[in-house]
Structure formats: C-alpha cells, structure tokens
Structure 1
Amino acid sequence: MPGQISDSSPEDPKTDVADELMDEKPINIQVNTSANPPQRSLVGYASMYGGPLPPAEEIARYEKVLPDAANRLFAMVEREQSHRHKMDEKLAEAQIEDMKKMRLERARGQRYGLGIGVVAIISGSLIASFGAEWPGGVIGFGGVATLASVFVSGRRRLDGPDYPEIEE
C-alpha cells in the first residue's frame, strides 16, 4: 500500500515510499529487524557571542537572506540602547527621590524624638519637684532611655543591606 513501511526486502515495492512522493530520485526505506539496531549520532553546532550585535560574518549572511537586514538590526540595537539609557535615568531619579524622602523622614523623626525627650525630662523634673523623686526620675529617665533605644535600633536597621548609605 502507498505510504506504508513493511518488514520486507528493499526490492519490495511496498518499502519504496519516497519513490511515490518524489519522481527525481527514489529513496529506499528499510526497517532493521535485527537485535542490534544501527547506531545513530546527532551532530550540532552552537555559536555564542557577547553584546547586542552578532559578528560581521553573520550580519553579512543575514543581509544575503534578507536585504536591509543589517540596517534593521542596527536600528533595533540603537532603540534598545536608548530605552536602556532612559530606564537607567528613571531608576537613578527614583533612587535619588527615595533618598531625599528618607532623609526628610529621619530629620522629622529626630525632631519628634527631641520633643518627646524634652517633654519627658520636664515632666519628670516637675513631678520630682513636687516631692515624688522616684516617679519623676523614672518618667524622665524612662522617656530618654526609650528614645535612645529607638534611635540605636533604627540606626542598625538603616545600616543593613537593604538600605543605601545616607551621608549627612
């Protein structure tokens, strides 16, 4: 039958599938039924290059297949480079803006901390001046010690790997 492969000999017309498909040169397809099938190997070729453009020889081959391919390739690379530069600029601007905001937040936190510390010391002093020295001392010292611990732990967090260095 046409298009089928059988286990018969190469002279059998049933195995000559290619002859029905191509009139130029017949190809005999044989099925090996022995216990040791023939060895097969696959040969491949790989090429690598760095950068946005392939080597000049490859560009010349592109140009043979598709006229004006080199110009289109160069235009694409130029657009990509321009895009990358714009993205890098936007990233740098965003990082600068983040650093400015962090600096403002730190300054605001320091002002609030100063205010809370002053209020704690004044409150403790007033309470102590009315005769309750221990409660006044606990309030004054406790407020200042709590603020100091917050500033120390906040400094450690800012010095971690997730935050950029902030110079004052």
Structure 2
Amino acid sequence: MRTLLITVTSALALTVGLGLAPASAEAGPERRTEDRTRALLAAFERRDVKAISASIDENATFTIPLSFSGASEPAGHFAGKEQILGYVDSVLTNFRKVRFTDLRVSVTGQGRTSFVQANGDFVTADGRPYRNVYIYRFDWKNGRMVHTDEYANPITLCKVFEDLGC
C-alpha cells in the first residue's frame, strides 16, 4: 500500500511539475483563466474543434483589428459562436500545422481577461512555412471566452497568401 501511495504521489507530482494537470478548484481565478487560455490554444494546435467550441460562449465575438490595407476598419469581425467556429474552420483548412512557440500568458482583472504573446510556427495547407507574431486578448465570463482580439502582422499574412489582394 505504501509503495502504491508513493507511486501515485510521484506520478501526481510529475504531472503537476510538467504543467499537465489543470488547476484545482481551490486555485484563484487568475490561475483558472491562465489554464483555460492555455487549454484553448492547445486545442487549436491539436485541431480539436469540439474542445474549442466548448470554450466559446454562444454570444462571443472575435475581432481581427489590424486591416490588410492599413485602414482603421478591422480585417475581420465574427459575432456569435457559429461565425467564430467558421473562422476557426477556415484557419484549420488553410494550415496543416498550427503551433505556438515562446508562449507567454498574462491574466488581469481577477481572471476576466488574459493576454497571450506568441510566435506562430505554422505550415500552410500546401506546405509553405508561415511565421507570424501574435498577441491575443481573451475576455472570459463563467469559464467561457466571450470576446477575443487577435493581433498579427498583416504584411506576413499578405506575403504568404498573395491571393488576398493586399
């Protein structure tokens, strides 16, 4: 029994040490939001649309504020879970690999908002490398994402996807 307890305790310590275990219910709101944020990005990397969908509020919004032309209007705005999942589907269609590197997550507002800074190590559907820099703002309510702003370099996007006409 003692051996089993030591083994289970060691496995749990290793899991927590590697950051694989979610924050406990006793963790503060900032830690829970950081875990949710990391889980959402990991689901995106795994192409797990079901997990992404589960994290999005029905009335959420998603904005890409930086236009392709330099104008002040956003490049994209999606209202509601269905439109956001449509955008996610288009990204997953255009990229065979989605991976974030140098990931940094900051949480503010007692867990209501998280910010992510990351580099993208993506590969397009036709095999070309796509390296962009990302800043995300996620607003959360009742454990679900209610708004996202995605900032990325539009010049990088336009160079790789010339057919966008930018």
Same fold (TM over 0.5): no
Q: TM-score scaled to structure 1, two decimals?
A: 0.19
Structure with more relative contact order (C-alpha pairs < 8 Å, separation 6 or more): 2
Q: Which has the higher strand share?
A: 2
Q: TM-score scaled to structure 2, two decimals?
A: 0.20
